[in-house]
Amino acid sequence: MANPDFKKFLVNDVIFAYPKLDAPYRFDKAEGRSKECAKTAPGAAYSVTFQMSLEEGRAFHDKLSDHYTECKKRNSKLKAFDRVFGFKETDDGLLFNFSAKKKAISNAGKENDMPKMVDGAKKVIENRRIGSGSTGNIVVVAHPSTDPDNHGGISLLLDKMQVLNAVYNSEDDDFDIHDDNSKANNDKSNDDSSSSALDLDDEIPF
C-alpha cells in the first residue's frame, strides 16, 4: 500500500531554472556553487527549480500546506508546519520558486535512475543539459520532513518532467542562430506539445 505521506502533484506551465539533470551534483562549500560529482558522493542529487506566477504559486503552496496538515493528523509527532523547503520569491518579486531534487543514491543504498525527462510528444529527451528558461510540466512528490534546525515542513522529490520548450546554453553566445530548420523544428515541437500531458501511471522510485 502506498504511503499517503508521499503525495504526487502535477504542476503545469512552469519555467525551469538552475536545472542539474544531466548528472548528479552536490554543493561545494569552498567554491560556493554546485558541482558535478560521482553518484556515490555524499549529497549527490539531481535537482531543478520551477517557477510559477504569484497567484499560482500561492495556490500550490496552500495545497502543500494542506497536505502537511493531513499528514500531521496521522502523525501527531510532526512539528508544526513552518515552511515549504526550497520555496522563495525570485529577486524581482514577480515569480515564486519551488525546488525539487532526487538523490543519486536511495536511503537503502541503491542507485536511483535519473528523473524521467520527455518532450511534447512524450519521447525521452537525450540531451538532458537544458538551461534556465526552459518551460514545461513537472511531477513532484511532496512529503513532510524536518530540517537540521528542527523546522517542520514539506520537501519536494523530483519525479519526472515534460520539457515543451528546451533552452540550451551555448559557448558561442556571440553568434546568432541562422538555421531555418531550427525554426521549423521549434514550430513542430510547439504544435506537438499543445495536446500533450505527462503519464502519471509510472511507479515513483524511492
Per DSSP, the residues of 37-105 read --TTSTT-EEEEEEEEEHHHHHHHHHHHHHHHHHHHHH-TTSPPEEEETT-EE-TTSSEEEEEEEEESB
Per-residue pLDDT band for 170 (boundaries 50, 70, 90) equals low
Report residue 2's pLDDT band, with 50, 70 and 90 as the boundaries. confident
Compute the mean pLDDT over every residue in the chain, rounded to the nearest whole number. Answer: 86
Copy the grid coordinates of residue 57: 504559486
- Per-residue pLDDT at 181: 41
Average pLDDT of the residues in 181-205: 39
CA–CA separation, 85 and 159 (whole Å): 17
Residue in 111, 87, 134 with CA at minimum distance from that of residue 38: 111
pLDDT, tens digit, 9 for 90 and up, residues 45-71 = 999 999 999 999 999 999 999 999 999
Domains of the chain: 7-193 (2.40.50.140)
Enter the pTM of the model.
0.81
The string of pLDDT tens digits covering residues 127-148 is 999 999 999 999 999 999 999 9
